[in-house]
Structure 1
Amino acid sequence: MATRHHPPEFKADAVALYQSRPEATIRQVAASLGIDWEIPRNWVRAVGTSRPPGRRTKTPTGPPTPLEAENATLRTRSAATSPRPGAYQGTSATSPTFPWPTGSSAVLRP
């Protein structure tokens, strides 16, 4: 398959089209232009821009749904009851409660 070279104006127009249609995906924009979706994805990455602000908002737009409220409550409970990050909770080979014997008697022979 031959590599097609697209003029810079076409690339710029494709990126602008993607940015101007917040509801459209790169695949949809590529399909409307008749090209593979990887091509405009690479152009968007090369330009280094993303969607206009507001595309993916982090702030809630309204009161939380019952499921979101339950998830928040469970995260809070989990954070309060879980050990500090990095704390190892298991047993070690030198621990007297290690579940199997250690030393030369622990070697399995065929």
Structure 2
Amino acid sequence: MSDPWQLLLQRKALDEEIRAALIAEYGTRGKKALDAVDRGQVRKYLDFFVVTGTTGDHVIDEGVCTCRDFAFRQKPCWHILAVRIAEATGKYVAHDTWYQENWKG
């Protein structure tokens, strides 16, 4: 099967081949990432990407995520995969503001 990231760079769009390749490569994490992109759960602020997950918002910055899965495994979680997919396809909600200014932690 083809490398899903190379295909995304070439096509700049999700098709069934890319979706299948992402799921084959990442399993459940790939499926969750695709679902998040499809549902518009990836947001790009001036400072960070933020993905809404099952336990709330997770900040993704330079390949690091604030979720527990990433903290435990130190490998890409589905939030990071969703950001990579969204960046490659342009399928994210852009906010012309700083996340840190709006965060209510």
User: So what's the TM-score if we normalise by structure 2?
Assistant: 0.28
Relative contact order higher in (CA < 8 Å, ≥ 6 apart): 2
User: So what's the TM-score if we normalise by structure 1?
Assistant: 0.27
Whichever of the two has the greater Rg, that structure is 1
Larger proportion of helix = 2
